[in-house]
Amino acid sequence: MLHIALIEPEIPQNTGNVARTCAATGAHLHLVKPLGFAIDDAKLKRAGLDYWHLLNITYYENLADFLRRAPGPCFFFSSKAPRSYTDVHYPPDACLVFGKETAGLPEELLLAHEDSAVRLPIRAEARCLNLSNAVAVGAYEALRQWDFSGLRADGELTRHTWSGYPPAP
pLDDT digits (tens, 9 = 90+) for 21-62: 999 999 999 999 999 888 765 655 665 556 778 889 999 999
Beta strands 83-84 and 3-7, pairing class: unpaired
CA 84 – CA 120 distance, rounded (Å): 6
Which tops the pLDDT comparison, 101 or 156?
Answer: 101
Beta bridge partners of 7: 32
Question: Is 138 annotated as ligand-binding?
Answer: no
DSSP letter (8 states) at residue 104: B
Poorest-confidence range of 12-21, 61-70, 94-103? 12-21
CB atoms under 10 Å from CB of 116, counted, come to: 18
At 83, is the pLDDT very low, low, confident or very high (cuts 50, 70, 90)? very high
Start-to-end CA distance of the chain, whole Å, equals 38
Nearest Cα to Cα of residue 22 among 5, 34, 44: 5
CATH architecture assignment, domain 3-145 = 3-Layer(aba) Sandwich (3.40)
49 close to 73: Cβ distance less than 8 angstroms: no
pLDDT at 163: 77
Tell me whether residue 99 is annotated as binding. yes
